[in-house]
Amino acid sequence: MADKIRIGIIGAGGIFRSRHFPGLAKIDDAEVVAICNRSIESGEKVIAEQGLSAEAMTDPQTLLNRDDIDAVMIGTWPYKHCEFVLASLDAGKHTFVQARMAMNLREARLMYARSRESNLVTQICPAPPWKGGRFLRRLIDEGYLGDIFHVYVRDLGGRYWDTDEPLHWRQIRRYSGLNILGMGITVERVARVFGYMSTITAETEIFTSERPLPDGSGDGPVETPDMAHVIGKMENGARAAFLFSGVAQFGGKSVVEAYGNKGTLIYDMGTQILGAKTGDRRPQQIPIPEDEATEWTVEADFINAIKGGPQGDTSFYEGMKYMEFTEAVHRSTERGGTVRLPLID
């Protein structure tokens, strides 16, 4: 392998501009050598914007066949993730894929199984980190909550509140699969702190059945839910409830609350943790220690893992587990009733 990790990108869109290119620019031993977009013009525009010395391409397989590429980063919509990940691993490339991992659990299992057959580094783009996530986990491990009774998660937003807003690709199932709103992002982070679910019962709803098509040619059907309510039991014995909505205008901050027999923890998924122990009159802020604050180091983690360092977030196993949650929500709403996890089919 060359001194620098040479990277090829398939699908250099918005998140590469906002996150990945700035992150890669800070890494001396990484360089982007090729970008494969739908058109040469699109790729050349990205190259010019980012000041890269890279080649614009349009054929993903040609990029994967290049000997001067060590690692591939995939930034397409989910409907292409499985196809390109499997092809990248078959080509012997270390592989990074954008979230959400896949369209469904079947694809996620294929990707995870193939990753285990190789000695290549694989990584999914993680959810934006909870700054206090690592500290929250330590508080729980040290017994702050005691036995956990309840975990409540609220992720409300107004992205789809305006019924005249054009149809988004995330609302089209052939592009986004079973993914719903910010469900995968939130479940991924909750699982790192509280663990996985053992049962799920869910209900979903599409409130606006049709929206204007972006090209103005008429209306198109909305195929992914505007909201989801999920209840169930966690492997640690706690009862959990998740509320997701894309039509809750002014829905307030996202929050995760945990209640146990020794204490309460309330986290705004950002910079503030409130806690109270038995006998306290009200929750008080618990400062997040600077040395435990989690920051965005995604690109550096990927390159470091290729060079022999530890696996960065998010692993293909973690991705498969949040896709299992999403699959279970789909099955519960389609068939009715409770779904037990882990899924065996």
- 75 and 223 part of one domain: no
d(CA 170, CA 189): 21
Q: Is 125 in a helix, a strand, or coil?
A: coil
- 75 and 87 part of one domain: yes
- 74 and 12 part of one domain: yes
- 96 and 142 part of one domain: no
d(CA 9, CA 97): 10
Report residue 109's pLDDT band, with 50, 70 and 90 as the boundaries: very high
- 89 and 168 part of one domain: no
CATH for 162: 3.30.360.10
- Asked if the structure places residue 345 within a domain, the reply is no
Q: Is 18 left (phi over 0), alpha (psi -120 to 50) or beta?
A: alpha
Report residue 124's pLDDT band, with 50, 70 and 90 as the boundaries: very high
321-342 average pLDDT score: 98
- 62 and 169 part of one domain: no
* Domain span including residue 33: 5-127+297-312
Provide the pLDDT for residue 1. Answer: 59
Provide the pLDDT for residue 128. Answer: 85
Per-residue pLDDT for 179 more than 80? yes
- 173 and 64 part of one domain: no
Residues of the chain above pLDDT 90, percent = 95
The closest alpha carbon to 287, from 306, 264, 271, belongs to 271
283-303 average pLDDT score: 95
- Asked if the structure places residue 65 within a domain, the reply is yes
Per-residue pLDDT for 129 more than 90? no
Per-residue pLDDT for 281 more than 70? yes
- Asked if the structure places residue 318 within a domain, the reply is no
Q: 269 with 242: CB under 8 angstroms?
A: no
- Asked if the structure places residue 319 within a domain, the reply is no
Q: What single-letter amino acid sits at 165?
A: E
Per-residue pLDDT for 150 more than 70? yes
- Give 165-177 pLDDT, tens digit per residue: 999 999 999 999 9
- Asked if the structure places residue 261 within a domain, the reply is yes
Q: What single-letter amino acid sits at 173?
A: R
Q: Is 101 in a helix, a strand, or coil?
A: coil
Provide the pLDDT for residue 201. Answer: 99
- 178 and 45 part of one domain: no
- Asked if the structure places residue 190 within a domain, the reply is yes
Provide the pLDDT for residue 313. Answer: 85
- Asked if the structure places residue 33 within a domain, the reply is yes
- 268 and 143 part of one domain: yes
Domain total of the chain = 2
CATH for 112: 3.40.50.720
Per-residue pLDDT for 2 more than 90? no
- Asked if the structure places residue 82 within a domain, the reply is yes
Global confidence as pTM: 0.96
Report residue 252's pLDDT band, with 50, 70 and 90 as the boundaries: confident
- 42 and 173 part of one domain: no
The closest alpha carbon to 187, from 269, 85, 131, belongs to 269
- 145 and 101 part of one domain: no
- 33 and 153 part of one domain: no
